[in-house]
Structure 1
Amino acid sequence: MTNNLPCKAGVDMTQTTASPRIEQLPPCPASVAERQTTDLLSSADHRLTDAVLDTVAALIVVLDTEGRIVRFNRACERLSGYTAAEVIGKRLWDLFIVPAEMDAVRNVFGQLRSGQFPNQHRNFWRRRDGRLCLIDWTNTVILDERGDVRYIVGTGIDVSERKTTSDALLEALDESRRRQAQTEALLDAARCILQGRDINSIVRSIYDSCKRHIGAGIGFVSLIMERDESRQTIFIHDSDMQCSLDAMHPGLVRGLLADAFEQGMAVYENDVENSPFAQRMPSDHICIRNVLIVPLRASGRVVGLMGLGNKPGGFDGEDARLAMAFGTLIAIALVNSQSMDALIRSEERFRSVVETATDAIICTDGSGAIIFCNEAAQRIFGYHFEEVLGKPASVLLPERSQRAFQAALRRFANTGKVMPVSRTIEITGRRKDGSELPLEFSLTSWGSKDGFFFTGICRDISERKQAQQRQAQLTAQIEAERRQAQNLADTLARERDILQAIMESTSTMLAYLDRDFNFVLANSAYVNASGHSREELIGHNHFDLFPNAENQAIFERVRDTGQPVEYHAKPFTYADQPERGVTYWDWTLAPVRTASGQIEGVVLALLDVTQDVRRAEERERLLREMATQQAVAAERERLSRELHDGIAQSLGYVRFRLRSVKDLLMAGRMAETSAGLAELEDVVRGINANLRESILGLRATAAVRDVGMLASLADYLRHFDQLFDIRTNLIVEPDAVTQFAPATEVQIFAIIQEAMINIRKHAQTGRATVRFSRVGDEAIVAIADQGRGFDVGCIPAGHYGLSIMRERADLINGKLQVVSEPGQGTTIILRLPVT
């Protein structure tokens, strides 16, 4: 943000109840017009402002003039790991600034507070988990009406990834330069050998270059001589090293020297003082902290040893590899000094050194024809050595560059001067398949009796270029986000004008009260609904006008805890307006904070839903009454059919048996007549029991509608006990569900009745239990007895009670389970989903 955003009169930054915001409400206006103007700057303005701040990707932090955080958008929450509620009111540097940058950040803050804005700076932020991220900040201020700094606004972009990429590129560049220096040193050493100077100067030059590039403090070079099958060393020691041995005095090869000689590999020890080799040193030997021994290999044998010591920080594998390369060149020089065969072998050793390089090395004659390329060159360009041998080096360049390359060679041929080593440049190469690749290229020339030659070293920098492209894309993205953040102030300014009309245009009743709950502001919708004039509200206490102990406790809790609340359809009765009866309101109460985070008042938003609640209650009452009536009517109709059909069948049987008994009596068959009369007595007794059960069931079913299912069930079980001497316990567990839809309650009641009838007819027991409980999302109704039980897999024909209960359970989306074994009693379990 680079624009200065002075606050207009009465305009303050606010927030919704979801996140903290800057708030500074003005004092009560002197006139209605002024109050109406101030009303325009209410919570609706705050909500839209917060929505814009929280949707932008940039980090936005607002501080007061003491450095305390008063605004902390969602982007800040995501990056830092803190919520806005955790940081509001705390000083920025106490939470996020690392000690090393504390003074710099406070200096920038002091400049802004003194009116020096806008400005930009970069610093690290410490996240909640302790990690650091690098932020680019653009800072400005918000002025009050007097032109004094009121708030300091920082807009930040997380550039940690870009910094990491940049550091990686710098590290790669340093590595490239280091490798280039090493390669050039090796080339210098090779030129030194090819120029044929005296062996001592050659060895000294290569040794000095090796020691300098590795960073050793002391060292030596020695030759191995075979005499009487014993190995000896002749020292060519560093001139700066105080050596107690004669340079030409033979010495035994032992310790690390023997290890390097026998293994043919570099060995190093970074803690000589505590190693076994320290005991073998003479008492007057120079202090050696660490040492690296390299065999000088030539023609498959070790011809000497090179030692380096006292490198700060110690030696590593990279030092060993580089020393081996220099050692190979020294060995080549030693062999070259003896014979022409040694020269041939030195070329092979040089080739082996070059072949181990990761960079492409290409040698040409004076005409530019390729005479050598190492394996790295073959790998990078895709050619085999035989394919390019004798061909112009321009085949490795795109056609657009070949003419310039040939012209450079002609210029060299015309002058006859050795081309000096050039600086490293970037060029474009061409692979065998025609594809192009970016290269870092350096060129040197050297001469011999056979003429002049060129050696070029190429490094494939495709990955570096790709990284640079990614960095450029990231930079463009960050710049776009920066522009978005800079435009935020203009967006907020345009929106502020729109928000000024919202408060009065909304149908929601809005009011602002101070800490003691005296009215400070109220919009027209609130005034009209309150039954009071604006003058009767402003400056008067809310609970003097609208007394309610419960609501007052809620207001005090919001004020004391700072936690907003929200209620739906909350009832309220106007003490001074009893004619309004019970009213219902959706309302929200949110605290209002000062810049320092102190609660100075509350905002109340009301919506009258009285008519909606009354219509819903009436509709629910009518629906329940209708459903109950329909369920009871259906049950009565079913019971009537059962009574009619069952009694009619029973009476028909009685009439038939009476005629049979009459015939037996007329025939004088008294014994059979007596048995028939006893049978008729049992049938009539059963008809009587069934009638009593049906009458009891009808009376209880009707009572469900009037007194509820549980009360009706308790009364039914009490009469059932009186009629049939079956004592039944009704158990309702604490978490049981006992209220259902009217139709569901009728069916549950009917299932219990059917189960009790089965107990009377078949269980042969005098005790039963009806239990209501809940398991998870299911309501459970269980009817159990301790009677004779039965095999649930072998239900006798003509027993329809269980089928009827299952049909009833299906009607109410329930599941019926029968658990019984002969002699173990029976339990009927009804499971209903809890909605």
Structure 2
Amino acid sequence: MSTGPAHILLVEDNPGDARLLRELLTESGTGRLTLTHVDRLDAAIRCLTQAAFDIILLDLSLPDSQGAETLVRMHEAAQGIPIVLVTGREDEELGLQLIQAGAQDYLVKGQTTAPLLARALKYAVERKRLEEELRKKTRFLQSVLDTMAEGVVMADERGRFQVWNQAAERIIGSGPADIGIREWSKHYALFLPDRVTPFPTDDLPLARAIRGESVTDVLIFFHRPHWPGEAWLSVTARPLLDDTGHLSGGVAVFRDITAAKRTDEALRDSQERYRLLVTKASDIIYRTDASGRFTFVNPVAMRIMKYTEPELLGRRFIELIHPDHQPAAERFYGRQFIRKQPSTYYEFLALAKDGSEVWIGQNVQVLLEEGTVVGFQAVARDITDCKRAEEARLESEERLRSIVQSTGDAIILMDTRGQVAFWNSGAEKIFGYTAEQMLGQPVTRIIPQRFREAHQRGVERVAAAGRLTLQADMFELIGLRKDGTEFPLEFSLAAWTAKSTLFITGIIRDISDRRQAESALRDSEERFRAIMDNSPALIFIKDLAGRYLQANRQFEIISHLSHEDLVGKTDEEVFPPEQAAVFRGNDRKVLEAGAPMRFEESALHDDGLHTSIVVKFPLRNAQNRCYALCGIATDITDRKRAEEARQQLAKDRLLLLESTGEGIYGIDRQGRCTFINSAAARMLGSLPEAFLGQDMHERIHHSFPDSTTYPRATCRIQKTLEGGKGCKVDDEVYWRKDGTAFPVEYSSFPIIEDNQIIGAVVVFLDITERKRAEQQLTLSHDQLRKLTARLESVREEERILIAREIHDELGQALTGVKLELCLLHDQIAEVSPMMRKKLESISTLVDGTIQSVQRIATELRPVVLDQLGLIPAIEWQAHEFQARTGIQCTLDVYLRAVTLSHAGSTAMFRIFQEILTNVARHAQASVVHITLQEQAGSLVLDVRDNGRGVTDAELADPHSLGLVGMRERALLLGGETIFTGSPGTGTAVRVRIPLDQP
């Protein structure tokens, strides 16, 4: 900097910070300087291409670049110009990382002083100067090495120098001295290679050559006599012989190897430093050939990538890069190869041997030989933690930004002038103004007019004091929305300084809902109190020591204590000792368990001992700590009594099940037995427990009487389970354990709970004896029916016989009497008028008797039935009935002839006679309609009247022998007689008798 003004490039987007740095540079006394100021990274890079600079002051946070990326881009563009970073973050770890990435120094805004800035600039420039001098010295030494020549000296046998060439003079630093051999070491300050021990005179190469010895490349260290510095000589000496072959002296040829020696030492030092740097460095160092295959890797590379040296050497560098990053890396380093860019910086994601991901940031230099790229050399660093930290920082910033923007609270930033500098989305929702509408506007827009003056005074006090003094952490005020409505709000304030400017941050919450919630809470507490006081249950709250904190009115009534007298007391002070001990013990169980528990507790009340179900549970605060115990007691005395009654009823029910002779069992929805009484088990041939859980259909109801399978789907009990309808079955079989079947009559009923079918109950009877009795009864009925048929047949035969005898014998006799009376009348009519009258009277009596005989004979067996058949007989009987009773009869006949047996015709006629008799006696009818027809191979007689109608009771009356007789007559012939009727509509009778088959 002493050779001219220092040219400084300042890259800072904040005018205030730029002005401050300019002032600090002026105060630092660093001498003449010129300052170029830009506020964008792109502008700075353009300046570097247009002018030369000695140093760069760089702000990390710029509008067009942020963080470490700013340094990386500037470092690439600066081409060796020292960079001093200026940032607002005081982060020692970050500063170390940035210096390792290429920065010369790291200054924190707000903590930078003029001396500190001067020191940073001085060190940066001095380092540059030293680097330039080192390059010049290297060129100078290289030039010396290139032009160095050998020195040659000769001496006679006495040690007197004969030849001393210019190279020797140049190398030794002086010409020959007129001194003896013994003085050479002292005069020329010659030392052994240890640089401390004077070189023994007798061992000097030239002295030995004078003695006839030959020596080669003897190393001598000496101090130059005429100028400061030290020198190294490599001496080769040979003896000189005269013409006679005698020793005449010696010659020494030496080279000033000082530079070579120093270069060799420097090379060894450099190699050692390089070795130490490479092996001890914390960075990855490697070299590759032009194809990108590793030719060298340091231990750090092997440690980070988890490969051994043999595994890496010869392997392509690109293979270690994550597949997703390989294309971009190949393009990047391909451009560097093609363009022969000296140095580049690139970051990529690598994969270690174990598959773990490692972020690598590396500077890569192109290795050139005669303009051809022969390989690459890289210094790389594991930046995984930095990447993660950066990602975490970005995530944290994004999370903070998200929180600020997503919170329902308003967050407002205000300067000391009372103007809004930040307005989040919560503020937009609460006040109705957008950020564009409020930024730069006075915050009084959201304050009601009556409070604005006080607010302004507060802002002025803060501005004057330069700090914020608060009397409380939270405040409640009234806010003003954009629509002019006012609402209650709660807010907190905090002050902070940025760039010497005081800002006030306010966090505001709309507490309208809270106010409403508080009101609702008060209402809820009142409702809670009302519920407690009007609840029939006993409700109480105790603290952890067992003292009552609260109890409802029912508790106070039971305990005969007022609220004031009860609060603060323990169970021992309210209840007898035994009861109190039980209550307190249960309380401890709940508190120890930390969970609700149920107890059955008894307490003596005015009307005796009462039992209650008490639910006790801990009450917890917001920190989930138990602070009290609550209990709710429900009096179950009546329930206990009902339970006892239920148990007694269950016993009675069990007794009933066991005492009945019917078999009873229950099944679930799957048909498994849930209970069975002893009678059922006895009938089924096993003990009751043998059936529990068994499939009852498969066990006792699996087959029909003929042993064919009884499908479960058609089982009536199964249908009860599926449809929920009870059923009664009169004739099926159950199977015993021994494989025998017996007939049963059973009923099944569904068990329904909560509108769901959960099972069924089956009640059954062994009807073996009844079946046997029914068979005997059927046999008896058959025998009786046959007897009845025989009796009817005999009776008809007797009627025919009697009718014939009456008609033939009695009729003929009466006819004879009639004839005799007529003859007698003619003979004595003139003799005695009185006798004539008597004869006429007797004749009339005989006529009546003849008619009676004819009527009786007809009733016993109508001649028309035997002579003309059934149809004329029915017609005759209908006319006879109408004539005798006055009831109108209509007859419809829908067939010409009847192919019916004699017995069938007789039965049909007798049934018809009985029907007309019942009409005359009971029907109170005025019209009878008769139909005779053939249907499905049977003769069908329908008789319908318009009388009062037969009743069900009359039809079911066992004393109605006429009805029974009609049924039996038809039944004997395989037919039937059906009676129907209803009050007011008349009676209908249908008689069906099968016709004779042709």
Q: TM-score, normalised by structure 1?
A: 0.26
Higher RCO (CA < 8 A, seq sep 6+)? 1
- For the pair shown, the structure with the greater C-alpha radius of gyration is 2
Q: TM-score, normalised by structure 2?
A: 0.23
